[in-house]
Amino acid sequence: MTADACDYIEPVILADNLIFFYWGRHPGHGNLDMQLGGGAWVIHDGRDAVVVDSMNLPGQGSWVRRYMEERYGITRFTLVNTHCHEDHIAENHVYADSTIIAHEDTRRLMMEHRESLERGSPGVPAFPVVLPDVTFRQQLDIWCGHTLIELHEFAIHERGHIAAYLPRQQTILVGDMLEDPVWIFHFDVAPADVQIAELKRMAAMDLQHIYPAHGDIDTIRNGGYGTSFIQCSIGYLEKMLAASQRADFMASTAQDYIAAELDKGELHWWPPYEQVHAMNLRTLQQLAD
């Protein structure tokens, strides 16, 4: 696929200096992340841009870069990878001429999985693995012109996952640490109780605008999520943990755990998330074995 074929990407203006590049929702697509919907962000100031995640499929990342060059006159890019999953690193090669920043575990995991990523897998096209060249642990502050961007590590969803926090705008870009309607569990990052504590640590930050990579686009368009969104993620995990010993656990649906949040409009159902919930059921079942 060439960049020209990526005209379905929608630049959603979140703030004067912040754009979400949304690849939309494509039911029946061979790639799960295209079914779920998602995107990546660009923070910009003058001719500088900090790109947070490099998109999902071949051509998407170069489409974003060209858009920023042509519409905003950006001449200097920095790329940040929130974590090592394919739909966040697939087009890193577009920024091979730029500084690429990530947590040191993200670089390590990309190296470990290089061979399989460069071979591709069903629904996930092969892509060249281009590694971050600046790594850190815990926290790193970077600047895009006059905009301070704090990169914060949290032990949620994947090893080395970081969020990009814009303190003056009370805005946080959380990657996959939060997802609407349900997030994806991995417990090699940290046990469930630690991840819940990490979510609470995030909720204690000064936040007005929370933006996940995968979420409800109308909510994202209208200022994003508030901190109750973090409580939704905690509740989903806690209720599933409590139910995991029940005989009918594997037959339970995501709606069994988030019905109240869906009713209140805090979460928004999207059918492809049945697959995410099924993965989470299996993950918790394996944990119990």
Contact residues: Zn ion, CB under 5 A: 85, 176
- Cα–Cα distances (Å) from 225 to 24, 36, 84, 210, 265, in that order, read 18, 18, 24, 5, 11
Pick 34 or 74: Cβ nearer Zn ion? 34
Task: CB nearer to Zn ion: give 114 or 264.
Answer: 114
Number of helices followed by number of strands (H, E) in the chain = 10, 12
Report in angstroms how near the CB of residue 260 gets to Zn ion at its nearest.
26
Distance in Å, CB of 168 to Zn ion, minimum? 27
Strands 209-212 and 99-103: unpaired
For Zn ion, the closer of residues 18 and 213 by Cβ is: 213
N-term to C-term CA, the chain:
42
> Minimum distance from CB of 184 to Zn ion (Å)?
6
Nearer to Zn ion, 176 or 266 (CB): 176
Among residues 65 and 85, whose Cβ is nearest to Zn ion?
A: 85
Indicate the DSSP class of residue 168. Answer: G
In sequence order, the β-bridge partners of residue 101 are: 80, 134
The H-or-E segment that residue 13 falls in is strand 10-15
Helix, strand, or coil here: 142? strand
Q: Most distant CA pair in the chain: distance in Å?
A: 59
Q: Give the nearest distance from C-beta 160 to Zn ion in angstroms.
A: 11
In the beta sheet, which residues pair with residue 103?
136
Q: Residue 194 Cβ, how far from Zn ion at the closest point, in Å? A: 18
